[in-house]
């Protein structure tokens, strides 16, 4: 299964994080991905590149140069997939838009990743990850119980767009197997971020969420919340079932009040104060050790550095001890599916590492 996409060739051109992540995921399943770089990265390879470009090949091409443009078209002629992240109109000016590539490769799966899509009143607008989280309601939902909105510390919209692109491209490849036809996928960062609200705020009536949106309601329940412990750490409790909520309140000495743990109305303040008082009486690890065997869903709020030391993630080969192209030791996040795909991937290449090999091949 790790070679499910073996034989599929991908070109990444003008891509940013979402396109890189999409190519990384597909390379993990056996595809061959060639990155078209604009320059030789005088400032070196970024930490993001070290991870998301694993297993890929790299060529530096200036698409405004006639010879480099011709070399790119030769690569596109035999590619299965092309991923581009230019603003709408740029690929047309460069002569590498879907119509131009389809003319030489009718079966191409051409994925355009842009901020707001290829059409609409804001199609040409510039934006990055946090703006998409903000304008789609995602950032507000993530900070619904906070005293003020704070900047997210991870690129949720970028990652989601990469995942959606990999899914859409894989579906299009399957469609091509049936029809023989290629396809243009128009993927918007705004739409992908908005779609993440489907499981919590996906249906509105008269301007308000339809009642019974349990995923949104759960975040208001005392038994599904975050609490500070004696050692100034934070624990997360997600005791949203009657069974686990009863067990939680029973252990803390007030089983009769367990129903307040699942309330979203006024009584929640009483239950939340009770839980905070109890949890402040001991360290975070104590609560994890004591409550987990009782079937109560509990965990610690960890830093990314701490997550790298997770025994469970290690057992699942999600933390890789590897190296970069210069042989320097690295620890990197692995591939989140089994069988594991990433251990065989080569380190991220320097820009232009495959220049001679690939440009010589296309010139023949």
Q: What confidence category does residue 216 fall into, taking pLDDT thresholds of 50, 70 and 90? A: low
Q: What confidence category does residue 343 fall into, taking pLDDT thresholds of 50, 70 and 90? A: very low
Q: What confidence category does residue 342 fall into, taking pLDDT thresholds of 50, 70 and 90? A: very low
Asked if residue 45 lies in contact with residue 76, where contact means CB atoms within 8 angstroms, the answer is no
**Full-model pTM:** 0.81
In this prediction, residue 328 carries a pLDDT of 82
In this prediction, residue 314 carries a pLDDT of 85
The count of residues in the chain is 364
209 or 114, greater pLDDT: 114
In this prediction, residue 334 carries a pLDDT of 77
Question: Which tokens hold the place of 303?
Answer: 């830093």
In this prediction, residue 7 carries a pLDDT of 96
In this prediction, residue 163 carries a pLDDT of 96
146 or 259, greater pLDDT: 259
Q: Quote the CA–CA distance of 276 and 69 in Å, as a whole number.
A: 63
Asked if residue 84 lies in contact with residue 113, where contact means CB atoms within 8 angstroms, the answer is yes
- Contacts of residue 290, defined as CB under 8 A and 6 or more positions apart, other chains included, come to 251
Instruction: Read off the DSSP letter of residue 222.
Output: T
Q: What confidence category does residue 213 fall into, taking pLDDT thresholds of 50, 70 and 90? A: very low
Task: Please give the average per-residue pLDDT across 176-203, as a whole number.
Answer: 89
* Mean pLDDT, all residues of the chain: 86
**Residue 332, beta-bridge partner list:** 320
In this prediction, residue 338 carries a pLDDT of 58
In this prediction, residue 341 carries a pLDDT of 47
In this prediction, residue 41 carries a pLDDT of 57
Tell me which long-range contacts 357-361 makes (C-beta under 8 A, separation of at least 24).
357/57, 358/34, 358/57, 358/59, 358/75, 359/59, 359/71
Render pLDDT for 260-270 as a digit per residue (tens, 0 to 9): 888 876 555 78
In this prediction, residue 174 carries a pLDDT of 97
Q: What confidence category does residue 149 fall into, taking pLDDT thresholds of 50, 70 and 90? A: confident
Question: Which tokens hold the place of 151?
Answer: 């900047």
Render pLDDT for 63-105 as a digit per residue (tens, 0 to 9): 999 999 999 999 999 999 999 999 999 999 999 999 999 999 9
Question: Which tokens hold the place of 315?
Answer: 């057992």
Q: Which of 151, 171, 155 is nearest to 18 (CA)?
A: 155
Residue 128 CB coordination number (10 Å): 14
Residue 179 CB coordination number (10 Å): 10
In this prediction, residue 266 carries a pLDDT of 59
* Residue range(s) occupied by CATH 3.40.50.10540 in the chain: 9-196+323-363
Q: Quote the CA–CA distance of 88 and 114 in Å, as a whole number.
A: 7
Q: Which of 87, 86, 116, 111 is nearest to 188 (CA)?
A: 116
Render pLDDT for 2-24 as a digit per residue (tens, 0 to 9): 688 999 999 999 888 999 999 99
Q: Is the pLDDT of residue 180 over 90?
A: yes
Q: Is the pLDDT of residue 350 over 80?
A: no
Superfamily of domain 9-196+323-363: Crotonobetainyl-coa:carnitine coa-transferase; domain 1 (3.40.50.10540)
Render pLDDT for 294-324 as a digit per residue (tens, 0 to 9): 999 999 999 888 988 998 888 888 888 887 7
H or E stretch at 284 = helix 284-291
In this prediction, residue 209 carries a pLDDT of 64
In this prediction, residue 255 carries a pLDDT of 85
β 319-323/109-114 pair status: unpaired
Strongest mean pLDDT among 27-41, 138-152, 327-341: 27-41
Q: Quote the CA–CA distance of 237 and 261 in Å, as a whole number.
A: 11
Burial bucket for residue 145 (CB in 10 Å: 0-12, 13-18, 19+): exposed
343 or 149, greater pLDDT: 149
């Amino acid at each position: 299964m790790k070679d499910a996409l073996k034989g599929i060739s991908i070109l990444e051109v003008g891509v940013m994080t979402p396109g890189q992540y999409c190519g990384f995921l597909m390379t993990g399943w056996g595809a061959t991905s060639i990155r078209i770089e604009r320059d030789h990265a005088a400032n070196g390879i970024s930490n993001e590149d070290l991870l998301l470009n694993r297993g890929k090949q790299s060529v530096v091409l200036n698409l405004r140069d006639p010879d480099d443009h011709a070399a790119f078209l030769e690569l596109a002629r035999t590619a299965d997939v092309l991923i581009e992240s230019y603003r709408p109109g740029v690929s047309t000016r460069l002569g590498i838009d879907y119509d131009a590539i389809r003319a030489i490769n009718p079966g191409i799966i051409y994925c355009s990743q842009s901020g707001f899509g290829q059409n609409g009143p804001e199609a040409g607008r510039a934006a990055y990850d946090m703006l998409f989280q903000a304008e789609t309601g995602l950032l507000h939902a993530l900070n619904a119980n906070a005293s003020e909105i704070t900047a997210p510390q991870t690129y949720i919209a970028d990652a989601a767009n990469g995942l959606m692109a990999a899914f859409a491209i894989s579906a299009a490849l399957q469609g091509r197997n049936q029809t023989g036809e290629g396809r243009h996928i128009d993927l918007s960062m705004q739409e992908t971020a908005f779609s993440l609200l489907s499981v919590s705020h996906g249906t509105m009536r008269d301007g308000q969420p339809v009642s019974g949106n349990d995923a949104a309601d759960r975040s208001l329940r005392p038994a599904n919340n975050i609490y500070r412990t004696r050692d100034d750490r934070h624990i997360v409790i997600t005791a949203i079932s009657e069974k686990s909520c009863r067990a939680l309140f029973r252990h803390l000495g007030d089983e009769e009040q367990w129903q307040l743990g699942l309330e979203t109305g006024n009584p929640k303040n009483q239950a939340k104060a009770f839980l905070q008082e109890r949890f402040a009486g001991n360290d975070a690890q104590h609560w994890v050790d004591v409550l987990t065997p009782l079937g109560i869903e509990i965990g610690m709020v960890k830093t990314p550095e701490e997550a790298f030391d997770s025994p469970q993630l290690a057992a699942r080969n999600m933390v890789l001890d590897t190296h970069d192209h210069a042989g320097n030791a690295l620890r990197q996040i692995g591939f989140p599916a089994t069988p594991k795909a990433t251990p065989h991937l080569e380190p991220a290449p320097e820009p232009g590492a495959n220049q001679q090999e690939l440009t010589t091949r296309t010139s023949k």
